[in-house]
Amino acid sequence: MFKIIILIFTVSIYAQAELWLSYDGVNFEPTTEESLGKRAVKSHNTNTYCGGFIVMERPEHFLNKSLDQFFNLQNYTINREAVVKDALSRVQERRLYKFIEKFSSYKTRYYKSSDGVRAAKDLAKNWSEITSTRSDINVSLYKHRKWPQDSVVLEIKGRTNQNIIIGGHLDSINTNDEGVHSHAPGADDNASGISVLTETLRVLVESNYQPKNNIIFIAYAAEEVGLRGSLEIAQKYAKENKLIKGVLQIDGTNYNGSSKKIVLINDHTNSKQNKFLGNLIDRYVNVSWAYDTCGYACSDHYAWTYNGFIASFPAEAYVKEENPFIHTENDTVEVMNNRANHAVYFTKLSLAYLIELDK
Ligand SMILES: [Zn+2]
Which pLDDT value is given to residue 75?
A: 84
C-alpha–C-alpha distance, residues 301 and 294, integer Å: 12
CB 330 within 8 Å of CB 237 = no
Which pLDDT value is given to residue 63?
A: 46
Taking the centre of ligand 1 as the mean of its atom positions, its distance from the CA of residue 103, in whole angstroms, is: 14
Which pLDDT value is given to residue 50?
A: 55
Which pLDDT value is given to residue 124?
A: 98
Say yes or no: domain 63-357 is CATH 3.40.630.10. Answer: yes
3-state secondary structure 47-73: CCCCCCCEEECCHHHCCCCCCHHHHCC
Which pLDDT value is given to residue 71?
A: 56
Question: 264 to each of 74, 119, 170, 297, 313, how far by Cα in Å?
Answer: 19, 29, 21, 14, 6
Q: Where are the beta strands (DSSP E) in 131-204?
A: 137-142, 151-156, 162-169
Q: Measured in Å, how far apart are the chain's first and last C-alpha atoms?
A: 35
Which pLDDT value is given to residue 70?
A: 55
Taking the centre of ligand 1 as the mean of its atom positions, its distance from the CA of residue 334, in whole angstroms, is: 18
Residues involved in catalysis: 169, 189, 223-224, 251, 327
Taking the centre of ligand 1 as the mean of its atom positions, its distance from the CA of residue 189, in whole angstroms, is: 4
For the beta sheet containing 311-312, the strands, ordered from the edge strand earlier in sequence to the opposite edge, are 137-142, 151-156, 214-220, 162-169, 243-249, 311-312
Amino acid at residue number 160: T
C-alpha–C-alpha distance, residues 309 and 59, integer Å: 17
C-alpha–C-alpha distance, residues 160 and 213, integer Å: 5
Taking the centre of ligand 1 as the mean of its atom positions, its distance from the CA of residue 134, in whole angstroms, is: 30
Q: Give just the sign of the alpha carbon dihedral 342, 348, 350, 353.
A: negative
Which pLDDT value is given to residue 7?
A: 42
Amino acid at residue number 277: L
Q: What angle do CA 299, 325, 170 make, to 5 degrees?
A: 40
Taking the centre of ligand 1 as the mean of its atom positions, its distance from the CA of residue 170, in whole angstroms, is: 8
For the beta sheet containing 314-315, the strands, ordered from the edge strand earlier in sequence to the opposite edge, are 289-292, 262-265, 314-315
Q: How many CB atoms lie within 10 A of CB 2?
A: 7
C-alpha–C-alpha distance, residues 288 and 348, integer Å: 14
DSSP 20-41: EEESSSS--EEE-TTTHHHHHH
Q: How many CB atoms lie within 10 A of CB 351?
A: 30
CA dihedral 229, 230, 231, 233 (to 10 degrees): 90
The SS3 call for residue 334 is: helix
Taking the centre of ligand 1 as the mean of its atom positions, its distance from the CA of residue 14, in whole angstroms, is: 30
Taking the centre of ligand 1 as the mean of its atom positions, its distance from the CA of residue 72, in whole angstroms, is: 32
What pTM was computed for the model?
Answer: 0.86
pLDDT tens, the chain, 359 aa long: 433 334 444 444 444 456 777 776 656 677 777 776 655 555 544 444 555 677 776 554 444 444 555 556 678 999 999 999 999 999 999 999 999 999 999 999 999 999 999 999 999 999 999 999 999 999 999 999 999 999 999 999 999 999 999 999 999 999 998 899 999 999 999 999 999 999 999 999 999 999 999 999 999 999 999 999 999 999 999 988 899 999 999 999 999 999 999 999 999 999 999 999 999 999 999 999 999 999 888 999 999 999 889 999 999 999 999 999 999 999 999 999 999 999 999 999 999 999 999 99
Taking the centre of ligand 1 as the mean of its atom positions, its distance from the CA of residue 254, in whole angstroms, is: 12
Taking the centre of ligand 1 as the mean of its atom positions, its distance from the CA of residue 159, in whole angstroms, is: 33
C-alpha–C-alpha distance, residues 344 and 328, integer Å: 24
Which pLDDT value is given to residue 296?
A: 85
Which pLDDT value is given to residue 19?
A: 75
Which pLDDT value is given to residue 40?
A: 54
C-alpha–C-alpha distance, residues 246 and 312, integer Å: 8
Give the residue extent of every domain in the chain.
Answer: 63-357
